[in-house]
């Protein structure tokens, strides 16, 4: 047991005032203590999650040349060994597909609203992942509404920031670790997420660990029907570290050397959103200089090898 709390989303969406307040308290406690919590009874259908995993396995099983046809920068396919954690030169042992909103702004800075690309097969890949993006986006909006009052903000504070934001759904495949993997290479090296919050569809395969405040690594596991939520750097900047961005990683398999799949939804605000520390969180002084979300995202993408 990790101690990471499990919350029921229906306590907030269907509960009375006391239940909603209790959910907000538990959410805030989970994020400030661990930077993580597990979400049960959410609004993402289990059969949708199952189909998405089936389609992911089908796509990544294709040969490399077929997959590379859809390598298109920040959208579409990113080949194995491309991304690395900030501060590292050894690439992570993973490949992935990324999609954003279907509507995009071609004039947005840094190309972060590039149009989606879609593979020819499997046939239902596009409609299923569009539906999953929408469901996770709605879940994230609800969670931010639950968090806002704990920061002294109106419940709808985050709504205009994330509506039309640069959120990304990443479909990840960690293949069996190759015999010739570079020394020290892992499936996903220790890192913090860039965004406000990440909503992770519970992975098919173990390996996710968070770095606890005492310096120990704790496994984060739950039933595949649940979601795992963590806080990212943008929220840490906004709250002056009141809600930290917790370091986490995906370790290489200790048991059978088989594929692992996961699907994190990275919830981002619009590029123009300022990440200035909230006045109520300044305390003895802001720990982070002002920056926009777009500029911060571009900076971090360069640091992890996804942008030149």
Query: CA-based angle 222:306:265, to the nearest 5?
Result: 30
List the domain boundaries for the chain. 6-303
- The per-residue pLDDT for 110 is 46
| pLDDT tens digits in sequence order for the chain, 308 residues long | 348 999 999 999 999 999 999 999 999 999 999 999 999 999 999 999 999 999 999 999 999 999 999 997 889 999 999 999 999 999 999 999 999 988 765 555 544 567 899 999 999 999 999 999 999 999 999 999 999 999 999 999 999 999 989 999 999 999 999 999 999 999 999 999 999 999 998 777 789 999 998 899 999 988 888 999 999 999 999 999 999 999 999 999 988 999 999 999 999 999 999 999 999 999 999 999 999 999 999 999 999 999 87
- The per-residue pLDDT for 249 is 96
- The per-residue pLDDT for 1 is 37
Which residues have CB under 8 Å from 177's CB, separation 6+?
Answer: 93, 187, 252, 253, 257
- The per-residue pLDDT for 155 is 96
Q: What is the largest CA-CA distance in the chain?
A: 56
- The per-residue pLDDT for 168 is 95
d(CA 117, CA 76): 5
- The per-residue pLDDT for 105 is 58
Q: φ and ψ at 239, to 5 degrees?
A: -100, 10
Is the Cβ–Cβ distance between 240 and 179 less than 8 Å?
Answer: no
- The per-residue pLDDT for 72 is 79
Could you name the CATH architecture of 6-303? Answer: Sandwich (2.60)
Residue 305 zone, left/alpha/beta (φ > 0; ψ -120 to 50; rest): left
């Amino acid at each position: 047991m990790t101690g990471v709390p499990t919350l029921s989303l229906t306590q907030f969406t269907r509960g009375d005032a006391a239940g909603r307040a209790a959910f907000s308290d538990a959410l805030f406690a989970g994020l400030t203590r661990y930077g993580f919590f597990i979400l049960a009874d959410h609004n993402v259908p289990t059969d949708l999650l199952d189909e998405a995993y089936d389609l992911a396995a089908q796509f990544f099983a294709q040969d490399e040349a077929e997959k590379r046809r859809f390598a298109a920068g920040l959208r579409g396919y990113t080949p194995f060994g491309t991304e690395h954690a900030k501060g590292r030169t050894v690439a992570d042992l993973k490949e992935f597909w990324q999609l954003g909103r279907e509507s995009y702004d071609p004039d947005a800075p840094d190309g972060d609203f590039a149009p989606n690309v879609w593979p020819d097969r499997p046939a239902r890949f596009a409609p299923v992942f569009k539906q999953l993006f929408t469901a996770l986006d709605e879940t994230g909006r609800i969670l931010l509404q639950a968090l806002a009052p704990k920061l002294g903000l109106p419940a709808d504070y985050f709504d205009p920031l994330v509506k039309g934001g640069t959120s990304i759904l990443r479909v990840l495949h960690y293949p069996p670790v190759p015999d010739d993997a570079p020394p020290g290479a892992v499936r996903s090296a220790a890192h913090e997420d860039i965004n406000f919050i990440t909503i992770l569809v519970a992975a098919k395969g173990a390996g996710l660990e968070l770095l606890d405040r005492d310096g120990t690594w704790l496994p984060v596991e739950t039933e595949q029907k649940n979601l795992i939520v963590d806080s990212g750097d943008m929220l840490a900047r906004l709250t002056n570290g009141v809600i930290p961005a917790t370091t986490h990683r995906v370790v290489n398999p200790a048991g059978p050397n088989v594929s692992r799949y996961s699907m994190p939804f990275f919830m981002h605000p619009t590029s123009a959103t300022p990440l200035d520390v909230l006045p109520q969180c300044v305390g003895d002084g802001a720990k982070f200089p002002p920056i926009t979300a777009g500029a911060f995202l571009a900076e971090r993408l360069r640091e992890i090898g996804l942008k030149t």
